[in-house]
Amino acid sequence: MEVKLTRKQKLITAYFAVGILFALYGWMFGVHSSKSFAYNLGQGVFWPVTVFPSLGPVIGGIILVVFIALLLLLF
């Protein structure tokens, strides 16, 4: 039986595979190697923000706009 993955499933799998590799590298050889694997795994999940620091404010802005929109819709 062959499992066929959709494009979305392939992208999500690739994203988390890179995140796991990023976490392993950070845990063993990175600047935060003295921290626990859980800390590095948390950084690995958000690896694009670490690799591309300019994405941090953009993602933060998007989260802020969504949060304000939710507050306006709820109240």
pLDDT at 1 over 80: no
Q: What per-residue confidence (pLDDT) applies to 8?
A: 95
Kindly state the tokens that stand for 29: 């050889």
Residue 4 CB contacts under 8 Å (≥ 6 apart), including other chains:
none
Tens digit of each residue's pLDDT (9 = 90 or more) over 43-72: 888 888 888 888 889 988 999 999 999 999
Rounded distance between C-alpha atoms, residue 60 and residue 37, angstroms? 25
Q: What predicted TM-score, i.e. pTM, was given to this entire model?
A: 0.69
Mean pLDDT of the chain: 91
User: What's the distance, Cα to Cα, between the start and end of the chain in Å?
Assistant: 51
